[in-house]
Structures are given as structure tokens and as C-alpha cells.
Amino acid sequence: MKNPDWKREELILALDLYFRLDYGQMHGRNIDIIQLSKELRQLDLHTNIPDPKAFRSINSVSLKLANFKKLDQNFSGKGMRDGAKQDREIWNEFHCHRDTLNKEAGLIRQLYLKPQSKQEKQNITAETKMGYKSDFLFQFHKNRETDPVIIKVKKEMVLANAKTLKCEVCRFDATAFYGELGNDLMEIHYNKEQKTDPGLESSEMDEFITVCSNCHKVLDKHHGLLNADDLKKIIKKK
């Protein structure tokens, strides 16, 4: 059986490498191509890989770069005869915007290749991803709201104006309910819908809200269909 087609995230990484290499360096002995093959295997973007040994192998990465040669007007050779439609789409989007391409590649590595705990991996299910338009947007969203710096700053900002951290949706006060055991139970939710793949722009702190774990699960499960204000209205009707 054929291995899955390349996804957008994989093509961005491959094209980013293409522009960083000389034509004569695009072969299977190049250390950067070997490294990219390793990274692509670690991205965990595909659930069904019929041939793991051949999946994003060094040879397949080299062939993908050869596909880009076919689209490169500065390349005087032939390149591969046929390239995928997705190759051309990524090429047209980025070949004149290489700085943006490099930033997108860096963000993909930051989102997908940073270590995840066993519990974090178990919490990511098909159901939790259902409201997101792509795996990339899901990962971007989760990394924003689990960033330790953002969590620390947001909670400090809330506590500067309030004595305790409450869920901004249902108003649950964990400290009042559990005493000191509930002092740090509130989570941070990124309350902004990303409709397209984001760049490396910074987020404003008012885009984040403190939420209890139950409200957080509901918001993430229905991301794109239900925001914090919508959920507040539903709760008020109860």
C-alpha cells in the first residue's frame, strides 16, 4: 500500500530546506536531508503508515526536493517529470516569500517537535481535534495556552485585580470550594479562533481567559463553533 501524501506542514519543511541548499547538495548523503527525514518521521501527522520503513525516507525527501526543481525557473536541469498538485501550491505560496517560509518552518518545529509528556499525548484524541481546521491549528492553539510564560503572566494579571482565580465562563472558584488545594487549579484557554495557519505573531493577553477544566474541555471540543461568550449564555439559561 502507498504511504500517505505529504501534508502542508511537511511540504513547508521540505521547501524551506530546498532554498537553503545548493542544487548539488540535494542528495541522500547530505546531513540536512538526513535530518529532515528524521524530523518528518517524528511529526506524528499521520495515523496510517502502511510502509514505515519507506515513510519519509532519505530517498523520498531527496525526490521531493527534485519535484521542487521542476518548478524552479532558476534550475537549468530537468528535475522530476511530474510533481504533486500540493507541491505547486506550496511553491506558488512561498517561493517569493522565503522569510515567511522560514518562520513557518520554525513554528512547525516548535509546535510538533517539542517534547510532550505521556499524559499530554493521551489527552490529544480525534474528538478533541474535531473543531480545528487542521492538525497544525490544533497544535498551535494548545501550545499557546500551555506556554508556561503565558500562563504565569495571565494568572498574575488576573490576581492583580482579584483575590482568587475564577473560571471566567461559569465563575467556579476552586479556592473557595477546595481551600488552599484549589489555589492553582484554573487553566488558561486561548479564546481566539484561528481560521488560517498563523505566523509567528505574538498574542495579546486579553485573548486568553482563565477557565475550569470542564469549561475548557467544552470550549476545545467545540472550537470554531462555540466561544466563551456563547458558553456563558448557555450556562445562564440553566
Question: Do 131 and 195 sit in the same domain of this protein?
Answer: yes
Question: Do 175 and 91 sit in the same domain of this protein?
Answer: no
Total domains in the fold of the chain: 2
Instruction: Over range 94-106, report the average pLDDT.
Output: 90
What pLDDT was estimated at residue 116? 53
What are the pLDDT digits (tens) for 117-174?
555 544 544 444 445 556 666 777 777 788 887 888 889 889 988 888 999 999 999 9
Q: Is 72 helix (H, G, I), strand (E, B) or coil?
A: coil
What distance in Å separates the CA atoms of residue 155 and residue 158, rounded to the nearest whole number?
Answer: 5
Question: Do 140 and 54 sit in the same domain of this protein?
Answer: no
The whole domain housing 128 covers 118-236
Is 2 a domain residue?
no
Question: Do 153 and 107 sit in the same domain of this protein?
Answer: no
Question: Do 101 and 127 sit in the same domain of this protein?
Answer: no
Is 46 a domain residue?
yes
What pLDDT was estimated at residue 39? 92
Question: Do 224 and 128 sit in the same domain of this protein?
Answer: yes
Q: How confident is the model at residue 193 (pLDDT cuts 50, 70, 90)?
A: low
What are the pLDDT digits (tens) for 50-97?
998 899 999 999 999 999 998 998 988 766 665 678 999 999 999 999
Mean pLDDT for the chain? 83
Q: Cell numbers at residue 48, please? A: 496510517
Strand partners, 190: 208
Count of beta carbons in the 10 Å neighbourhood of residue 141:
22
Question: Do 67 and 154 sit in the same domain of this protein?
Answer: no
Q: Is 179 helix (H, G, I), strand (E, B) or coil?
A: helix
Question: Do 68 and 173 sit in the same domain of this protein?
Answer: no
What distance in Å separates the CA atoms of residue 139 and residue 132, rounded to the nearest whole number?
Answer: 9
Give the rounded percent of residues in the chain with a pLDDT score beyond 90. 44
